[in-house]
Structure 1
Amino acid sequence: MTKILPFKAVRPTRAYAGLVASRSYEDYSEEELKAQLEYNPYSFLHIINPGYKFQHEIAGEKRFGMVKNRYLEFKEEHIFEQDEQACYYIYKIKTRETSCCGIIAAASAEDYKQEVIRRHEDTIAHREELFKDYLKVVGFNTEPVLLTYPDNTVINDLLDKRMKSRPEYEFATYNKETHSLWLIDDPENIQQIKEQFGAMEKLYIADGHHRSASSYLLAKESKENNPDHTGKEAYNFFMSYLISESNLRIFEFSRLIKDLNGHSKEEFLILLDEWFRIENRGHEVYKPSKKHHFNMYLDGEFYSLYLRKTNYTFTDSLSELDSYILYENILKPILGIEDLRNDKRIAYIHGRNDIIELKTRVDKGEFAVGFGMLPAEIAEIKQIADENLTMPPKSTYIEPKLRNGLTIYEF
């Protein structure tokens, strides 16, 4: 059983919502970031980049404290106000290609600990601690963990009915997305949602493994330091965006490698031949259409690589994952890439970007070779999580990506 609760969000008043909402900090180019900070005083970027006010770079705990100060200023100026009643929040994103919606709510840190909320990626301990310390100082979280659940008719019908009314927020963005938010504050609907999630045996993290882990560390530390702990305190939960599996969009990451690890082109192809049936596609832009098929771009030409299944043994769900096959048979043994997170010889392009970017970067000489594959499927992700296995880094790029600053969870 999962515990998914409503909460009293701190959020922008209706007039400021479109101005406050921002993409993830890392998504902005240097020019975009400068323009937002210079011309939009209401952007949430001012909170997470507090040094801009003083034209000074600030890092570490000093930055954490100043993030909190900027946040409090937004509250004092009534740009942000807190809801008086605990709500669930429906968030819908409509793009040029598709639309999706889900529920923003509070998920249980204990459910994460007990693996009721399941993960499929490893986390890095120092990043967990760093973000835990950040949360502890600022006292709020604005970037929800993306959780997914099997499609549920009761929840779908409830959302559809609520979305027929006027949204609390509705605004468009420069990249031609429309963002809408509704409040679910009716006690009967709240109880229905709580019961539907409570009947689910498990949920899966789609995106936000470090945020989940850090939130659990904060809950654990706060519990240990609170002699009056009851389990109902806000620190026992973390903000999440719960989305049905059919609303989830999963993309792959292509891999770019700077060199062939001392091999000539011919030697490299011979080494690949042990594990893959290779076909030179020349200038034909090739993208795989089946699992265990890969595309490769090398020396101005595309290649298809088909896994030789007579040579390769599938032992568990992880061994069948294409990103794992690529790592175990090419990246590590042939190209010498052991550390997929930190090795400077490897870079990634997520599948939202065109294969032409991969070709262009190789043609420019930035990289020697590029590899692509089909995206993982949700069934694969769940099976790997259920077997307590972890996928290689950058195995999935998952959407939707929410805007920061529209709902804030305080603890």
Structure 2
Amino acid sequence: MSKIYLSPPDVGQLEESYALAAIRSGWVAPLGPDVDAFETELAERIGTAYAVATSSGTAALHLALLGVGAGPGQVVVMPTLTFAATANAAVYTGAEPIFVDCDPATGNIDVDLVEQLLELLRAEGRRVAAVLPVDMFGVCADYDRLLPVCARAGVPVVEDAAEALGATRSGRAAGSFGRTGVLSFNGNKIMTTSGGGMLLTDDAELAARARYLATQARQPVTHYEHTEIGYNYRLSNVLAAIGRAQLRRLDGMIRRRRELRDRYAKMFAAVSGVRLLGDSDPGGNCWLTTIVVEPEESGWESVELAAHLAAREIETRPIWKPMHLQPVHAGAEAVLTGAAERLFATGLALPSGSAMSDGQSERVLRAIDEFLGGR
């Protein structure tokens, strides 16, 4: 029995043809015409003036934070419920992360807590480089409220939209909020370039600075001249070609993930104590369908379902372990309500990949039904 994975890459003949064309063109090293075209096409899709293709979403986050001036002696306010890359990028700059708890309905950063924290930090005279929200599992943060809060505090927003390509809020695309936004094209994301990322912005100076730093901060002279430290952060032309093919298929891949989410929603609609995280937001891209199980009401825990599915070669994953619980960030400042810890204890991401066949989907649903029947 073949294993069903959480969110494997969805690639096929179109991606193969684009990659082969890039190889045959001779542009196999970083940069090239497919990188330029990918940046243009992605910026047009998101609605920003500039896009900078990078080797990873983490690299894009690092460049974005450098672009807004993050550095030693400053703090970056971010959600505790996120992947490690969000916090790592802040630490790379020399700034310190301050973690904020989440809205239990969506997993996104709690805007009320952000507002209170920014007021406290201002009163203490501390320098805030940025607020770094994360669009959790493909649902945009509450930017209708968050952007005014940050504007009043004079703090730029760097949007971590790594999980949210194709999502929208209030008619705007994920990645277009704040001074700069960041996407990821890791292998498990909504679309992939194998590895890769993108920095998005309307700020011409910030985009130019990001390109410069991402190419080892090389000066524009015929010999290799460097006046400051740079990074090897640019995207391969071959991988950009794959990304261009994926972008053509993006809407279809989102539709497929939405179909799978709808099947899960019907499955759990009558199950007491179970809800879908962020299900009330119609603009989500349905990257990973995640259920939240309240054992006091359901009579079972998410880890029990995970074990049942694992025994049948079906992959699941808990919600991100909060950053304030990670050993590497022990002692970091955090503003907590307990919401993120509760989601970590009760949440479970289910197979959601757009490449999942109807037969595989039925297999997952039968296994869940079998589990529920036993309860």
TM-score of the superposed pair, with normalisation by structure 2: 0.27
Task: From the two aligned structures, give the one with the greater strand fraction.
Answer: 1
Task: From the two aligned structures, give the one with the greater helix fraction.
Answer: 2
Please identify the structure whose Cα radius of gyration is greater.
1
TM-score of the superposed pair, with normalisation by structure 1: 0.25
